[in-house]
Chain A
Amino acid sequence: MGMTITEKIFAKGAGKKSVVPGDNVWLNVDVLMTHDVCGPPTIGIWKKEFGDKAKIWDKQKLVIFPDHYIFTKNPHANRNVEILRAFAKEYDIPNYYDVGTERYKGVCHIALAEEGYNIPGTVLFGTDSHTCTSGAFGMFSTGVGNTDAAFILGTGKIWEKVPESLLFTFDGGLPKYITAKDLILRVLGDITTNGGTYRALEFNGDAIFSLSMDERMTLTNMAIEAGAMNGIIEADEVVENYVKERSSKEYELIKSDEEANYKAKYRYNANDFVPLVAKPHSPDNIDTVFNVKGRKLTKCYIGSCTGGKLSDFVSVAKFLFSNEVRVPTFIVPASTYVAEQLEVETISGVTLKNIFEKAGCVITQSSCAACLGGPMDTIGRAQDGEVIISTTNRNFPGRMGSKKAEVYLASPLTVAASALTGEITDPRDYM
């Protein structure tokens, strides 16, 4: 019987010939990633449970990115970073990317890719639900809590149930007003926020393999919004080129068998897509931009591991070039690399950064910022009564700050078009 790519990586990671969905297996972990919110409690559990014998299973495989509550005066939040710093020093952790230093990277999922930790065919766990982002590299990646992470930290292993897979095939080509965000919003509308629970979402088709790594990561990033264990795209040349530039590690290109078993298969024609939004207060509350256009906004937000990558800002800059925003618009580069590139990439000779500044946007430092609300002094945090359109991934009540704010999720193109008018706007009207 054939296996899907996810099942094959499970079998490999568990040292078995084959696995079937529902099997509980112990996986060998290739990389464990943590950050400032879940790192300190993970370390606490690891110390408590392993006591004096506490040993990190493999220091090279532990990666720590402070990124969530970074630029705040909140003393508790800053204490978390201090705990990570002390831990990195005490145990001499090679892959710690401290804030306030040149090594600081920004949002963990994007930093994992940029720093060469995403390797096709491998198994990556992280203490963050959007760890599924790394699946864009043809690998298995998923989020876990602190206890599981502490267990991995000491043993390099974790139990996991082999998921059933759902296959999403996108034929055709993407119209210029459509981005990966519109594709994943459509999937969420179709299968809802628990349609993927305990399952793998696999994406393929011509439209997918024509996407850049940035765009592929937008798709796999939001697999968790369907409750999925992982999102995954088979690695191709685009992935290989990206990985080779950043890592010298061996990799294995694993592909699903022709006769692999899927719980369900979905087929779309990318040519037919129209710009979509997720309305308040759930990522599966999908509608067309056309149907909600005209909704007055108080803020536009472009950032996060979903919508704060370089390709997202290139899309936005095309709209904002020689234009001014009508509502406060926040530009939050996901990583310090993306922030640097804003000063390098140009449109008609003008840097993206200049375009955004001239348009009247607020450009912030790289971090998770208001994507998850955060401490009260977090830049861009949602206030009571606000109506926001955002390139982020979640709009549950209070996710971006106030419970009394409404958040619409959309593609960078839709958010940029909306910034120009101060109301939800269809990007097709400006293209």
Chain B
Amino acid sequence: MEKSIKGKAFVLGNNIDTDQIIPAEHLVYSLNDPKESQLYGRYALSGVPLSEAGLPGGNIPFIKGEETVSEYSIVIGGSNFGCGSSREHAPFALMKAGVKAVIAESYARIYYRNSVDGGFLIPYEAKEKLNNVISTNDEVEIIIDENMLINHTTKKEYSLNPLGDILPIIEAGNLFEYARKSGMIV
């Protein structure tokens, strides 16, 4: 596992549901086909109303034009991130778009499990509300061992909740690797 995750922040509001992360009409693409699955990156966060995309100002598209990878690799959300449907396509789409971690105050259960069990990205819980103190385009870095977030743009630091029970699954890579390591499956 890497020691830190560094990148540009993309900031969103509360209750970002899975329809905003990847609208239902796009759930039809293959997740296995390398070329077709890039479409998930292309449409990641395309359901977020543009005025709410890239806070505080909004109106910042997460994906530019026809691209499939975003310049933003860390998403900062508010409370109840990933609520709504059970679609695993949601963390998958963010991963395809190049997102390495999401930091939110709280998560919907299925989205949280999917992120971890599928090994798509790390869902960090912030100890405080961050989506009003971090701005889109800030250069941020997560120091994994220390459960800390550094905002290099504003020179501020924030502590994150330890990953706890899910850490072994994240370290193994995904649920299957974890089960293999612990001898549950061969």
The residues of A that contact B15 with a CB separation of less than 8 Å are 193-194, 282, 396
The residues of A that contact B29 with a CB separation of less than 8 Å are 76
Interface string of A333-377 (1 = CB under 8 A from B): 000000000000000000000000000000000000000111110
Q: Is B5 an interface residue (CB 8 A)?
A: no
- Interchain CA distance A173-B85 in the complex, whole Å: 33
Select A69's contact among B28, B87, B184, B186, beta carbons within 8 Å.
B28
Q: Is B127 an interface residue (CB 8 A)?
A: no
Contact between chains at B86 and A397 (CB < 8 Å): no
Q: Is A273 an interface residue (CB 8 A)?
A: no
The residues of B that contact A403 with a CB separation of less than 8 Å are 47, 49
Contact between chains at A128 and B86 (CB < 8 Å): yes
With A155-B185, A198-B109, A229-B109 known as contacts, the answer to whether A145 contacts B84 (CB < 8 A) is no
- Interchain CA distance A145-B29 in the complex, whole Å: 16
The residues of B that contact A146 with a CB separation of less than 8 Å are 31, 88, 114, 118
The residues of A that contact B117 with a CB separation of less than 8 Å are 145, 147-148, 151
Contact between chains at A193 and B83 (CB < 8 Å): yes
The residues of B that contact A193 with a CB separation of less than 8 Å are 15, 80, 83
Interface string of A46-70 (1 = CB under 8 A from B): 0011100100000000000000010
Select B83's contact among A127, A155, A194, beta carbons within 8 Å.
A194
The residues of A that contact B110 with a CB separation of less than 8 Å are 129, 143-145
Q: Is B20 an interface residue (CB 8 A)?
A: yes
Question: Could you tell me which residues of chain A, from 102 to 141, have a CB within 8 Å of some CB in chain B?
Answer: 126-129, 131
Contact between chains at B113 and A227 (CB < 8 Å): no
Q: Is A24 an interface residue (CB 8 A)?
A: yes
Contact between chains at A398 and B23 (CB < 8 Å): yes
Q: Is B108 an interface residue (CB 8 A)?
A: yes
With A197-B109, A229-B109 known as contacts, the answer to whether A147 contacts B23 (CB < 8 A) is no
The residues of A that contact B17 with a CB separation of less than 8 Å are 394, 396, 399
Q: Is B175 an interface residue (CB 8 A)?
A: yes
With A44-B32, A403-B49 known as contacts, the answer to whether A129 contacts B85 (CB < 8 A) is yes
Q: Size range of the interface on B?
A: 35 or more
Contact between chains at B28 and A397 (CB < 8 Å): no
- Interchain CA distance A139-B165 in the complex, whole Å: 26
B184 to chain A, nearest CB (A): 7
Contact between chains at B28 and A76 (CB < 8 Å): yes
- Interchain CA distance A74-B25 in the complex, whole Å: 10
Q: Size range of the interface on A?
A: 35 or more
Q: Is A292 an interface residue (CB 8 A)?
A: no
Q: Is B106 an interface residue (CB 8 A)?
A: yes
Q: Whose C-beta in chain B lies nearest to the C-beta of A76?
A: B28
The residues of A that contact B118 with a CB separation of less than 8 Å are 145-147
Contact between chains at A145 and B86 (CB < 8 Å): yes
The residues of A that contact B139 with a CB separation of less than 8 Å are none
Q: Is B174 an interface residue (CB 8 A)?
A: yes
With A129-B84, A372-B85 known as contacts, the answer to whether A397 contacts B49 (CB < 8 A) is yes
Q: Is B79 an interface residue (CB 8 A)?
A: yes
Select B24's contact among A145, A147, A154, A374, beta carbons within 8 Å.
A374
A57 to chain B, nearest CB (A): 11
- Interchain CA distance A129-B30 in the complex, whole Å: 21
- Interchain CA distance A197-B184 in the complex, whole Å: 28
Question: Could you tell me which residues of chain B, from 8 to 60, have a CB within 8 Å of some CB in chain A?
Answer: 15, 17, 19-20, 23-25, 27-32, 47, 49
A220 to chain B, nearest CB (A): 16
Contact between chains at A148 and B113 (CB < 8 Å): yes
Contact between chains at A374 and B185 (CB < 8 Å): no
The residues of B that contact A254 with a CB separation of less than 8 Å are none
Q: Is A80 an interface residue (CB 8 A)?
A: yes
Q: Is A172 an interface residue (CB 8 A)?
A: no
With A374-B25, A396-B20, A397-B47 known as contacts, the answer to whether A154 contacts B185 (CB < 8 A) is yes
Contact between chains at B88 and A398 (CB < 8 Å): no
Q: Is A274 an interface residue (CB 8 A)?
A: no
The residues of A that contact B119 with a CB separation of less than 8 Å are 147
The residues of B that contact A127 with a CB separation of less than 8 Å are 86
- Interchain CA distance A146-B32 in the complex, whole Å: 13
The residues of A that contact B165 with a CB separation of less than 8 Å are 24, 161
29 contacts between A and B (CB under 8 A): A24-B165, A38-B86, A41-B88, A44-B32, A49-B176, A69-B28, A74-B28, A80-B28, A131-B86, A144-B114, A145-B86, A145-B113, A145-B114, A145-B118, A146-B88, A146-B114, A147-B114, A147-B174, A193-B15, A194-B80, A227-B83, A227-B109, A373-B23, A375-B25, A394-B17, A394-B84, A396-B84, A399-B19, A399-B24
Query: Which residue numbers of B lie inside 8 Å of A, CB to CB?
Result: 15, 17, 19-20, 23-25, 27-32, 47, 49, 79-80, 83-89, 106-110, 113-114, 117-119, 165, 174-176, 179, 184-186
Contacts A194-B15, A398-B19 known; list 6 others, CB within 8 Å: A76-B28, A77-B28, A143-B110, A147-B174, A373-B19, A399-B84
* 10 tightest Cβ-Cβ pairs between the two chains A and B: A76-B28, A145-B88, A145-B114, A194-B80, A143-B86, A147-B118, A129-B86, A146-B88, A49-B176, A147-B117
